[in-house]
């Protein structure tokens, strides 16, 4: 179970919004200070580790640049809920250890709501609104990647066991 305060965004939040191109030459840690700047100047400075990033349809569309999930991770984002994802963005999140959850009812979740996610049973509880939403269950092989902090760490661990 994961519980946290929601940072809520709408549909079509693309990688240029998450990772503004003007800061791509900076290190990930420096560039992270500008995450979401085109639509939310406060995000990078006020996001707290344990908060939950929630968006609507087509999160992470646009270019396939890896800096978008890397900048989110550098700020402490560990869990994202969206109605659906651009495929490469979704996979990049998993590969670096961010739990990406699909929920058709993500639009019902509001900014600053407190939600609890039961990702193994596919349920999101909105504690602020006393509501419950279905989400896709996270398969065990994806959870293993997340638990190891990403695909590279997972593969290293698997190789050590051989």
Q: What is the reported pTM?
A: 0.94
Q: Per the structure block, which two tokens stand in for 25?
A: 């030459």
pLDDT given for residue 65 in this prediction:
82
Q: Per the structure block, which two tokens stand in for 76?
A: 């402490």
Q: Which CATH number does 2-161 carry?
A: 3.20.19.10
Q: What residues does each domain of the chain span?
A: 2-161
Q: Per the structure block, which two tokens stand in for 145?
A: 């990647």
pLDDT tens across the length of the chain (162 residues)? 999 999 999 999 999 999 999 999 999 999 999 999 999 999 999 999 999 999 999 999 988 789 999 999 999 999 999 999 999 999 999 999 999 999 999 999 999 999 999 999 999 999 999 999 999 999 999 999 999 999 999 998 876 776
> Could you give phi then psi for residue 89, rounded to 5 degrees?
-60, -45
β-strands 52-55, 2-8: how paired?
A: parallel
pLDDT given for residue 45 in this prediction:
97
pLDDT given for residue 22 in this prediction:
95
């Amino acid at each position: 179970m994961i519980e946290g305060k929601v940072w809520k965004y709408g549909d079509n939040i693309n990688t240029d919004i998450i990772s503004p191109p003007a800061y791509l030459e900076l290190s990930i840690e420096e560039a992270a200070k500008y995450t979401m700047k085109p639509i939310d100047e406060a995000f990078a400075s006020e996001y707290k580790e344990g908060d939950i990033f929630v968006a609507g349809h087509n999160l992470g569309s646009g270019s396939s640049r890896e800096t978008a999930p890397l900048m989110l991770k550098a700020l402490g984002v560990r869990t994202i809920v969206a109605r659906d994802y651009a495929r490469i963005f979704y996979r990049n999140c998993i590969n670096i250890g961010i739990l990406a959850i699909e929920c058709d009812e993500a639009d019902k979740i509001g900014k600053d709501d407190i939600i609890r996610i039961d990702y193994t049973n596919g349920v999101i509880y909105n504690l602020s609104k006393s509501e419950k939403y279905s989400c896709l269950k996270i398969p065990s092989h994806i959870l293993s990647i997340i638990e190891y902090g990403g695909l590279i760490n997972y593969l290293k661990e698997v190789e050590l066991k051989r």
